[in-house]
Amino acid sequence: MSKAIIKIEDLKREFTMGTETVHALKGISFDIKEGEFVTIMGSSGSGKSTMLNILGCLDQPTSGTYEIDGVRVKDLSRNELATIRNEKIGFIFQSYNLLARTSAIENVELPLLYNSKVSTEERRKRAIEALEKVGLGERLHHTPSQLSGGQQQRVAIARSLVNNPVMILADEATGNLDTRTSYEIMSLFQELNKQGITITFVTHEPDIATFSSRTIVLKDGQVMQDYNNHNVQSAANELAKLPKQDD
Amino acid sequence: MRLLNLFKIATKAIILNKTRTLLTMLGIIIGVASVIAMLAIGEGSKESIRTSISAMGSNMITIKAGADTRGGVRQEASVMESLTLSDYEAIKAQSTLISYSSPVVEGRGQVINGSSNWPSSIYGVNPEYLNIKVVGLQSGSMFTDAEVQTASKVAVIGQTVVENVFPDGEEPVGQMIRFNNIPFKVIGVLEEKGENTFGQDQDDVVIAPYTTVQKRILAIDHLNQIMASAISEEKAPEAVLEVSNILRVQHKLTDSNDDDFTVRSMEELISTFSSTSEMLTILLVAVASISLLIGGIGIMNIMYVSVKERTKEIGLRMAVGGKGSDILMQFLIEAILISITGGVLGVLLGLGATVFIEKFLNWPTSVALYSIVISFAVCAVTGIFFGWYPARKASALDPITALRYE
C-alpha cells in the first residue's frame, strides 16, 4: 500500500461568534494516500471551507490531529505553518489569484522566492518546466490580462506544482470557468494525477467528482459519505463529447 | 538570499506602480530639495552676515595696560608704561588664535598743511592695523614693514583730515603735512568709515609707523595698546584667554598677582553675530523638519493604501509560504526604496535649485555638505519610521481573511 500523506483523526473546529459557539467541524476522520485524487464535496455551510483551510495549513483545528507528510500540524507557529505551506502544499484558487501585470513565469516563481534553498537559476528552470507541463511553454512572458481564464488557471496550476508539493489543494478550481474549459482543466488534473501527484479538490459540482478516484461528502461538519469511485470518467473523453464550438 | 528575493519583490512592486510611486516620492523629493536649497540660502546669508559683521571688526581684541596702585594712589591705566614691544612680539610669536596684530601708540596734535590746520589724533601702528580695523585705502598705499623698521616719516590719513587740511580738493597723496611740526609725507588716504557706536569720528585720524610716532612725536618706548584680531568671531573669547596667559608669563605674574593689563573683545558684536546665526539655523531646521515630516506622512499614506489595496496579494503570498516577517520586510523595503530614491532625486533637484537661485536671483548661497548628509539620512529614517506601521499591519493579516478579501 502507498503511504498516507494526510492523516486526520477526530478533527474539530469551533468558532466563537459573540456568545455563541459554532461547531464547523464535529469530529472528522479520514486519510488521503499518495497518488489519490480526492474530491471533497458539500453544500455551503457543510464545513467544506473550514476543512480546506485546515488541510491547507491556513488554520488550526480546535481539537483532533492533523498530520501532513508525517508532520503534526497542531501547535505549529505561524511561521512554521508558512514553511509547511511553502514546501508541502500547492494551492489553486477559484479566482486564480495571479499577480496582475506580472508575467506567467514570475507568477510561477513566486512560491520559490520564499524558499531560500532554491537558487535563482534553479527557480527559473523549475518555473519553465512547470509551465511546459501545463502546456504554456509558449506563453512564459504573458501577463494575466493577456491570457484567457483557462490559461490563467493553468498558470496557477503551474505555480502549485513548482515547489514539488506532496499534495495539490484546489478550491473550486473550475468555478469560474465554462464547461468546456473546466473539462480541459480537469483533464490536466487527471494527467498530473496519473504522473503520481496527489490532488485534493474541494467543489460543490457533482460532475467534477466523477473525474476523481474518491469522493468525501461533508454535511453539517461531519463526513456523510466517503467512497471510492470505481467508474472514473475521463475528462478528455467528456471534452470530446461536447458539441464542437464555432470558432 | 532571502533578503535579496524580498528586495526583488519590492523593486518589482515599485516598478509596477510607477505613477503612484513617483507621486509619493514627490513629497520626499520636494522636501529634500527644499531643505537643501533652504540651507544653501541660509548658509549663504550667514556667510554674508558674517562678512558684514566682521567688517565692523567684530573679532578685534584690544590689550591695554591695566590700572595699578602706586604708593596707595590708584593710577589711570594710560599712565602705566607696562606694555612693551616685547609683549607684542611674545603675543605674535606664541598665539595660535590671532590672525593679525599691531602695536599701537597714540597722541593728539595739530595737523598743518600750508595755511590750513586741524586738531587730530595720530596712531602709530604697523601695516596689519588696516586688516584688524577692516578698513581699506581709497587711494595711495599703506606703509610697509621696512618703513616701520626705519621709522620713516610717512602717514596715511582719514577723510576728515583730508577735508580740513586739503580744503581745495587737491590730491593729498604725495603731499607733505606736518604733525606737531614733524613733517610727514602722505602716502595714502583711508576709506570713509563714519562714526563708531560712541559717536567718535573714525575718519579723523593720522596713521603712521609706530616707531616714528614713538621716537619723533611721543618720545616713549612703551606701547599704549596692542590690537589684534582673532581668527574668527567664535574664537575671540578663547583668544582673549590665550593672550592673557601669554602676558602673565611675559610679565612674570604669580598666581597671587592680578593681571596688570586688560584684554577685551567686542562682546556685543560677537553676541549679535552668534544670536543671528543661531536664529537662522533654528528657522532653517524648523522648515526642513516640517517638509520632511510631510514627505514622510505621504509615504505612510501611500503604503497604508497600498497594503489595503494589495490585501489579496498579501494573502496569496502568505498562502504560498510567505512568512509574516517576509511581508513586513517587503513593505518596509518598498518604503525605504521610495524614500531613498526620492532622497537622491531631491538632492539633485535641490542642488539644481541652488545653482538657479545663485545664477538668476543673485542670492548668496553655499551648499553645505552636512545638509546633504542630514537630509539623506532623515530620508532613510523617514522610510523606516513611516513604512513600519503599514508594513506591520500587512504582516499581521490573517491569510484566510486576506485571501477572501475583495
Interface list for A 157-176 with B (CB within 8 A):
159, 163
pLDDT band at B67 (very low <50, low <70, confident <90, very high): low
Residue ranges of domains in chain A: 36-50+77-241
Q: What confidence tier does B71 reach under pLDDT thresholds 50, 70, 90?
A: low
Angle at CA B62, nearest 5°, toward B58 and B68? Answer: 150
pLDDT of B23 reads 84
Mean pLDDT of chain B: 85
Report the candidate in A175, A167, A168, A189 with the shortest Cα–Cα distance to residue A235: A189
> Mean pLDDT across the stretch B136-148?
89
The confidence score (pLDDT) of residue B68 equals 64
How far A230 CA lies from chain B's nearest CA (Å)? 33
3-state helix, strand, coil in chain A (%, to 5): 35, 30, 40
Residue-level pLDDT at A104: 94
Q: Which tens digit of pLDDT belongs to each residue from B273-310?
A: 778 777 877 887 787 778 778 877 887 888 888 888 88
Does B222 score more than 80 pLDDT?
yes
B372-377: long-range pairs with CB below 8 Å, 24+: B372/B36, B372/B347, B374/B35, B375/B31, B375/B32, B375/B35, B375/B36, B375/B288, B375/B292, B375/B343, B375/B346, B375/B347, B375/B350, B376/B32, B376/B340, B376/B343, B376/B344, B376/B347
Query: Does A132 or B44 have the greater pLDDT score?
Result: A132
| Residue B275 or residue A234, greater confidence | A234
- In CATH, what class is A36-50+77-241? alpha beta
Cα(A23)–Cα(B147) distance, rounded to whole angstroms?
A: 111
Collapsing DSSP to helix, strand or coil, B294 comes out as: helix
Q: Is the pLDDT of residue B117 over 70?
A: yes
Residues of A in contact with B8 (CB under 8 A): 113
Phi, psi of A224 (to 5 degrees): -90, -40
Give the best residue of A58, A121, A122, A169 to mutate against chain B (max B CB count within 10 A). A58
Q: Where are the domains of chain B?
A: 2-52+273-404, 60-265
Task: Tell whether A83 lies on the interface with B, counting CB pairs under 8 A.
Answer: yes
Q: Using CB atoms, which residue from A79, A101, A110 is nearest to B324?
A: A79
Closest CA to A123 of A113, A137, A138, A134: A113
* pLDDT bracket for residue A108 (50, 70, 90): very high
> What pLDDT, in 10s, does the model give residues B148-164?
999 999 999 999 999 99
**Is A86 within 8 Å of B321 when comparing Cβ atoms?**
yes
Using the predicted structure, report yes or no on whether residue B114 has a pLDDT greater than 70.
yes
- Give the pLDDT mean for B19-30: 85
Q: Provide the ipTM.
A: 0.92
pLDDT of residue B184: 93
pLDDT at B79: 62
How big is the A-B interface in CB pairs under 8 Å? 67
What percentage of residues in chain B have a pLDDT greater than 90? Answer: 16
The percent of residues in chain B predicted with pLDDT above 70, rounded, is 95
Structure confidence at residue B274 (pLDDT): 72
What pLDDT sits at residue B202?
A: 82
Asked if the model's pLDDT at residue B58 lies above 80, the reply is: no
All residues of chain B having their beta carbon less than 8 Å from the beta carbon of residue A59 are 400
Strand pairing class (B205-209; B154-157): antiparallel
The predicted model gives B99-123 an average pLDDT of 90
* Residue A228: strand pairing partners: A214
pLDDT over threshold 80, residue B49: no
- Where does the pLDDT of residue A3 fall: very low under 50, low under 70, confident under 90, or very high at 90 and above? confident
Joined grid coordinates for residue B178: 606736518
User: Residue B75: CA atoms inside 13 Å, Cβ hemisphere, count?
Assistant: 16
- What's the confidence (pLDDT) of residue A112? 92
Cell of A97: 489569484
Our CA-based measurement puts residue A122 at a distance from the nearest CA of chain B, in whole angstroms, of 13
